[in-house]
Structure 1
Amino acid sequence: MNIFRLAGDMTHLLSFLVLLLKIQATKSCRGISLRTQELYTLVFVCRYLDLFFRYVSLYNLLMKLVFLGASFTILYLMKYHRVVRQTYDKEQDTFRSVFIVVPCAVLAVLVHYEWSVIEVLWAFSIYLEAVAILPQLVLLQRTQNIDNLTGNYVFLLGTYRALYILNWVYRYFTEPGHRQWLVWLSGIVQTAIYGDFFYYYLRAWRSNEKLALPT
């Protein structure tokens, strides 16, 4: 494992910790899109089905279990916690997830590495992850309710993907024959989606102002 992959994984893990910290410390999920959290949970469920039949390493196993556990914990808190669920902004979080899920499912059936249920679901998870953040970004743009922890959470998610692009570049030059065009293109699209958010996040950070997205 190279330093870029490790940094990406740790940044991804940190994004979960920041979001859980926000929810637990403030007893609020205001500004967090349940739609995005549901999409990410679907991503992990589809991608980590190999937990039942393939062992890669202890590190790989633990990270998959942590990501699944954290995703389901966030969903539980947002949907069933007596206090937290009352802070969910359902009226503003109205992005139609079906417009994301269906095209990604069709694309996975058409474009994949191998024709099998597991591989098609894996491809589906790759495509879905690339656009799963869209409901969150739309919610932040609508409400302008962006506290520091929420802004940091989204920024860490984008940073994780950017670090993974560096990981892919590194592996391209150090591992002959390593080619994953499907993953690479999806990752580039995902990082590009964060571009506007990165700009306003860094501008707010440099000027020590509250983060706000253009409407």
Structure 2
Amino acid sequence: MWFVIEDHDSLFVMSEGVHFLGIGVLAYKIIRKRNCGGLSLRSQELTALFLATRLFCSFMMEYDIHTLLDLLTLLATGWVVYTLRGPLRESYQRELDGLNPLIILVPCLLLAVVAHPGTRHAYAFKILWAFCVYLEAVSVLPQLRMMQKAKVVEKFTAHYVFALGLSRFISCAHWVLQILDGDKYLWQALGSGIWPIMVLVSEVVQTFILADFCYYYVKSYAEGTGIIHLPAGIV
């Protein structure tokens, strides 16, 4: 990938494109099937929260193609949240979506206070930026937990989560390749101290969180079954 793609920043655009593809699968399921079974409302709300936080910070700290992509992704995610809470709430499997979001939000906020960018921006903006980085890394946990409880993963939900895993792998590659290239702008933007390390760790964590699911997804289709059974220890 290092040699194939010279403009590594295009990997971020590719990552968001794959994410959009996953949301498109959800949109098809919701619109055509009129059913949201298997989808975690908590994961969608956490995703909307980190996107909204990152969008706000982007307006305050930087404005580029990333800002536009985040806005489009936030609007799409907001629509999914609306359908889960509104028109299709009867098909939402609330009993399977039991992971308390505070278990995720509180550690992310505390970690943001400890490790955040060392840039010249306002302190509150630096905390919020770090918070959205950490939250993005673990926002999919309620969805994985819900699928684990269900044992068998619904087809369209599986497509979406696989797209999410692929998107985050590409995003992780985007950061790693820039670091290997010694991108001076990247290091200036990240600042000094522990923050650059935490950004890389967050990218790696969110990739590995979905690695197991992606393995079982590929395995099920390679075997020709298309039915994904998750073992108890995936989350």
Kindly indicate whether the alpha-carbon contact (under 8 Å) linking 2:59 and 2:67 is maintained by their aligned counterparts in 1. no
Equivalent residue pairs, number: 212
Which sits farther off after the overlay, 166-175 or 184-193? 166-175
Alignment of 1:71 with 2:88, yes or no, is no
TM-aligned CA deviation for residue 129 of structure 1: 1.0
Which residue number corresponds to residue 213 of structure 1?
230
Alignment of 1:98 with 2:115, yes or no, is no
**Equivalences for 1:118-197 in 2 at 5 Å?**
118-177=125-184, 178-179=186-187, 180-197=196-213
Which sits farther off after the overlay, 130-139 or 4-13? 4-13
Which residue number corresponds to residue 80 of structure 1?
86
Kindly indicate whether the alpha-carbon contact (under 8 Å) linking 1:126 and 1:186 is maintained by their aligned counterparts in 2. yes
Kindly indicate whether the alpha-carbon contact (under 8 Å) linking 1:31 and 1:145 is maintained by their aligned counterparts in 2. no
TM-aligned CA deviation for residue 54 of structure 1: 5.4
Identity percentage of aligned residues: 33
Deviations along 1:152-211, whole A, 9 cap, x unmatched? 100111111111122122212334333432221101011111122122111101012111
Which residue number corresponds to residue 19 of structure 1?
26
Instruction: State the secondary structure of the residue aligned to 1:56.
Output: coil
**Equivalences for 1:13-52 in 2 at 5 Å?**
13-50=20-57, 52=59
TM-score (norm 2): 0.84
Aligned AA (2:208) = A
Kindly indicate whether the alpha-carbon contact (under 8 Å) linking 2:15 and 2:170 is maintained by their aligned counterparts in 1. yes
Kindly indicate whether the alpha-carbon contact (under 8 Å) linking 2:97 and 2:146 is maintained by their aligned counterparts in 1. yes
Equivalents in 2 of 1:161, 1:18: separation in Å?
17
Equivalents in 2 of 1:8, 1:146: separation in Å?
23
What is the Cα-based RMSD across aligned positions, in Å? 1.7
TM-score (norm 1): 0.91
Instruction: State the secondary structure of the residue aligned to 1:31.
Output: coil
Kindly indicate whether the alpha-carbon contact (under 8 Å) linking 2:57 and 2:128 is maintained by their aligned counterparts in 1. no
Which sits farther off after the overlay, 65-74 or 142-151? 142-151
Equivalents in 2 of 1:42, 1:103: separation in Å?
15
Which 5+ residue runs of structure 1 have no aligned equivalent?
A: none
